[in-house]
Amino acid sequence: MKNNETKERWIQHYSSSHKILLVGEGDFSFSACLAKAFGSAANMVATCLHTEGHYRWLRETDSILIRMHQDLIAAYFKTAKEMVQEEGEIHVTVRDDYPYNRWKVEKLAECAGLQLKDKVEFRQENYPGYHNKRGGNINCNKKFPLKACYTYKFTVKVSALENSDGSEVYESARSDFTSIITTVEDLQI
């Protein structure tokens, strides 16, 4: 191994050789966990934006709030699809029990031209130092149960990548991110 080459390091499905954009990172403990495992954060960009929580009178089971979450996820998929490399993945980690399964993450991804590659259980203990937090401003510093929590891994559908002549539709809009990840903090659970 040459001096300028570094050994690839992994933590679960994330590698130090991936170019990773983390969206809605909460308290940045997930990205800190990855950086510690990789020995560097040079391959990552982490973002967090909590401008407003949802209205206090809304509950997670309310159809209005469910629709708001669906709109957020749909917009995320639309943007992420244009940013991820052709062979890259878009990950969303979210609970898959009631009422969160009413968000219909897989259906929203399909409507955005994505296909499910894998669905794996998210286990907090696999990410040392990660602290889950509620999103928004309602109890935002408190944890929530991570039961029935999964990471959905999506790829761009091949048909969405090609015109009839075989040229790529989104080539110029793509960035160089291998993985784009959103965590449950971004979804204001």
Q: How far apart are CA 39 and CA 61, in angstroms?
A: 41
143: exposed, middle or buried (C-beta count within 10 Å: 0-12, 13-18, 19+)? exposed
Residue 144: pLDDT band (50, 70, 90) is confident
Question: Any residues with CB less than 8 A from the CB of 79 and at least 6 apart, and which?
Answer: none
Domain ranges of the chain: 10-187
Alpha-helical regions (H) of 56-167:
63-83, 105-111, 158-161
Look at residues 140, 145, 137, 151 and name the one whose alpha carbon lies nearest to residue 182: 151
- pLDDT-derived band at 145, boundaries 50, 70, 90: confident
Residues 90-122: tens digit of each pLDDT: 999 999 999 889 999 999 999 999 999 999 999
Question: What's this model's pTM, rounded to 2 decimal places?
Answer: 0.76
Mean of pLDDT over the chain: 79
Given pLDDT bands bounded at 50, 70 and 90, which one contains residue 31? very high
The size of the chain, in residues, is 189
Architecture in CATH of 10-187: 3-Layer(aba) Sandwich (3.40)
C-beta atoms surrounding 100 within 10 Å? 19
Place of tokens 């709030």: 65
- pLDDT at residue 61 in the model: 62
Measured distance between the N- and C-terminal CA atoms of the chain, rounded to whole angstroms: 45
Spatial neighbors of 14 by CB under 8 A, at least 6 apart, are 20, 34, 37, 179
